Structure 1
C-alpha cells in the first residue's frame, strides 16, 4: 500500500539543504563529527519547537518515542541528551543565525505587496521581555530575584514578517539596540517613546532614511514654522528645533512635530510624533495616517 512521507518530513523538504551545507562548511560546523551533524541538530530543534516541547529532557523523551521513525524524519540515528546538549553548547551559533536570516529573506520576497504605495520598506522596531529562571540563567539577572532577556525585533509591516532580531539581557535599555539595526537608505522606521535617542536618530537621517517616533512629554524645543492646512484628526504640524543641551548637540537640524488625535482609543488622547524634515524639493513622511 502506498504510504506518503510524514508531515514533518514534508515540511523539511521545503528547506534548502544545499544552502545550509554551504553555511556549515563556512564555519566548519561538521568538522570531526561522525553521526550527529548540524543538519540533524537543526531538525531536532525544529521538531521540539513544532511539537511544543518545554525542555531538553522533554524533547529527548519525544524523540525516543519516535525512535523507529527517526531515519524517515531526517533526524539520523538515536539522539541522546548529552549529544544534543553538547552540540548546542559547542557549535557556532552563526550557522543557524545566518540560515535563519536566509529563510526570513525568502519568506519576505514571497509576501511582497505594495500596500503603502511608497518607495522603501516600512519597519516597526520594539522589544519584548522573556522571563528566565535566575538560578539556571544566572547571567541574565534582571532584578533581585528575577532573570530575563529582551528580544529586540525589527518588524516588516508590509510583509508582516520580522526582518531582524537582537537579543540582550533584560536590564539593557531599549534604545541601546538601535545601533544594531541594519538601516536601509530610503526606508521608514517606526519607534515608540523609549527610543528618543537623538544621536542614533541623527545617524538615520544622515543615511537618507526616514523615521517616526512618539515624543516624550518633557521634550524641550522651539517652534520654527507651522502648517495651516491640516488633514483630518491632525491637531498641529510644526517644524521645531531642539533646545535641550545634549539633544541640541546630538541633533542640530530641524524636526517635525505632529500632534494627532486618535478617536479609536480615547476622545482626548493625542500623540506627539517626531519625524525629520527633508531638504527642499524632497517630501517628508506623512504622519496623518
Structure 2
C-alpha cells in the first residue's frame, strides 16, 4: 500500500510500517497514552528487528499522528476485511450484513477546533459507519463522516453483493436506495416508518403456530410516486410483516423484498441486527477509541483505524487457528504474549535440554 501510494516519499526514518506497528501495539497492549506506549514498546528492543522496526520517540509518533494522512491505514483495514470474509464466501454460506453507525464523542481543548462546526444537538465528534459480516462478526466496510451527516448518505457508498442480505434500522429509510439493493440482486430487511403510505396487494396466510407472534403478513406497494421530494424508483411489491413486541404496545413493522422466507425468519434476521450494537460496544470497551493519543482529526482517524486493524488481526488469528475461545479471550492471550515467539522459544528449550543431556554423558560420575 505504501509503494502504491508513494506514502513514504518524505519520510526519513519513521515510515508507515513503523507507525502501524506502534499504533497496533498501543491497541493490543492497552496503552493509556503516548508515554506508556513508547515506554512499553521501547522496553522490548531485542524484538524490534524481527518486526522490521526500531525504537520510537514520543514526539515523532505524535507528529506522525497529527500530520500523516490516514489513507494507508484505511487501505490496510479494507484489505484485512477482505481476508476475513474470504473463507466464509468459499464455504458458500449465506452472506448477511448488518449496517449501522456509532458516534465518537470529541469535546474539549483542541477537539473543538474541528468538531464544533459539524456538531448536532446530541453529538459532537465523528461518526463511524460500519457494515458488519454477521456470520463471523467482523467489519466488511467502514467509513468516517462528520456528526451531522445523515446515515443514509453514507449507505449509498456501501458495496452491494449479489444474493447477500442487508439488515438495517429505519434510520436508513430511503426507497431509492432500497431499489439499488434490489437491482443488485440482494435482499434487505428493515423497518417501515409509521407514516409510510402503502397499498395492500395480497394477504399471506399466517401459520397457526405463529399466530400469537405474527400479526400480519402482507404484500404491499407504495402509494406515492415521490419520496423525499424525488421520484420514488421502487415500483416492485414489498412484504410488510407485523410482529408482536411484548415489551411495547406497538408492533414491529418490517419491510423486506424477500418473498419466500417465513415471517418468523424475517423477524429473527432483524433481531440479529443487535449484533452490530454489541460490536460497537465491544470495541469501545476493549480497544482504545475513547481516549486518544492526539487531538487532530488525522490522529483520531488513525487511532480508530488502528483499533479496527487490531480487531481484524485478532479475528484472523482466531479463524486461522480454529480456536474455540472467545475473541475477548484471544485478545487477552495476545496482549499478555505480544513479544513471545513460541516456535523460537520452544526450539531454544529443546536445544538447552539436548546440551544438558550431552553434558551429563560427558561429565564423569564423581561418586
TM-score (norm 1): 0.77
Alpha-carbon contact 1:210-1:285 (below 8 Å) kept:
no
Greater per-residue strand proportion: 1
Alpha-carbon contact 2:200-2:220 (below 8 Å) kept:
yes
Greater Cα offset, 155-164 or 229-238: 229-238
Greater per-residue helix proportion: 2
Partner of 1:121: 95
3-state DSSP of counterpart to 1:184 = coil
Partner of 1:131: 105
Alignment of 1:140 onto 2:118: no
Partner of 2:76: 99
- CA gap of 1:71–1:229, structure 2 versus 1, over 3 A, is closer
Cα deviations across residues 150-178 of structure 1 (Å, max 9, x unaligned)?
11111111122111111111222222221
In the alignment of these two chains, the number of paired residues is 256
The structure with more radius of gyration: 2
Alpha-carbon contact 1:113-1:158 (below 8 Å) kept:
no
Alpha-carbon contact 2:123-2:147 (below 8 Å) kept:
no
Aligned match for 1:273, one of 244, 254, 263: 254
Cα deviations across residues 62-83 of structure 1 (Å, max 9, x unaligned)?
445x264463573733322332
- CA gap of 1:113–1:229, structure 2 versus 1, over 3 A, is farther
Greater Cα offset, 32-41 or 53-62: 53-62
Cα root mean square deviation, aligned: 2.8
Per the TM alignment, residue 236 of structure 1 is displaced from its structure 2 partner at its CA by 1.2
Per the TM alignment, residue 275 of structure 1 is displaced from its structure 2 partner at its CA by 0.9
Distance 1:145 1:238 in 2: 37
- CA gap of 1:170–1:287, structure 2 versus 1, over 3 A, is farther
Alignment of 1:169 onto 2:146: yes
1:276-287 alignment runs, 5 A limit: 276=257, 284-287=260-263
- CA gap of 1:158–1:146, structure 2 versus 1, over 3 A, is closer
Per the TM alignment, residue 129 of structure 1 is displaced from its structure 2 partner at its CA by 1.2
3-state DSSP of counterpart to 1:236 = strand
Alpha-carbon contact 1:152-1:177 (below 8 Å) kept:
yes
Partner of 1:249: 231
TM-score (norm 2): 0.62
Distance 1:125 1:145 in 2: 21
Per the TM alignment, residue 140 of structure 1 is displaced from its structure 2 partner at its CA by 2.3
Alpha-carbon contact 2:45-2:54 (below 8 Å) kept:
no
Structure with bigger RCO (C-alpha 8 Å, 6+ apart): 2
Per the TM alignment, residue 208 of structure 1 is displaced from its structure 2 partner at its CA by 1.4
Per the TM alignment, residue 216 of structure 1 is displaced from its structure 2 partner at its CA by 1.4
Distance 1:86 1:286 in 2: 56
Alignment of 1:222 onto 2:199: yes
- CA gap of 1:26–1:285, structure 2 versus 1, over 3 A, is farther
Partner of 2:22: 44
Alpha-carbon contact 1:134-1:146 (below 8 Å) kept:
no
Distance 1:131 1:73 in 2: 37
Distance 2:63 2:11 in 1: 12
